[in-house]
Amino acid sequence: MNDLILQPVLFMGALTTLMLIWMYATRLPASLVLQQKGTNLQDLSHPSALGGVFPSKVERVADNYNHLWEQPTLFYAIVFVIWAQNHTDQFYLILAWSYCFIRFFHSIVQATVNHVWARFSLFILSWCVLIFMLLREIFVVLG
């Protein structure tokens, strides 16, 4: 049962990979349009130069891809501690998969409609699951 906790990590890896593909599927054509309009793409080589250059529908996907390298890193760490300590149980599996599904829906919302309150709600909900997992594991390890 303990190895089942690694499946949500693989799911998050797959989600990140899908967002990478989506990002380049939107960014490359947008880059070609900019280049055809006379933009020197080399002038955009630093990430700070990219803000507002691409259409919002392109930037939202890239923003989400970047977000998948932020908060989820704590998720990975917590899951690996749970796995290494052999603490996996049904409740941890429910929490881990809940986190994954919330982040999946967060990605979809951000990359498509980008409704701020829906996205924010999913973000906070994912943090709540993550904090609960962290606190529970702290108490299991210390207790």
Distance CA 74, CA 139 (A): 17
Q: Say if residues 109 and 119 touch (Cβ distance below 8 Å).
A: yes
For residue 27, pLDDT over 90 is answered with yes
What's the pLDDT score for residue 39? 85
Task: Evaluate if pTM is beyond 0.85.
Answer: yes
Q: Say if residues 69 and 103 touch (Cβ distance below 8 Å).
A: no
pLDDT tens digits for range 44-89: 778 777 788 899 999 999 999 999 999 999 999 999 999 999 999 9
Residues with Cβ < 8 Å from 51, sequence gap 6 or more?
A: 59
What's the pLDDT score for residue 52? 83
Domains and CATH numbers, the chain: 2-142 (1.20.120.550)
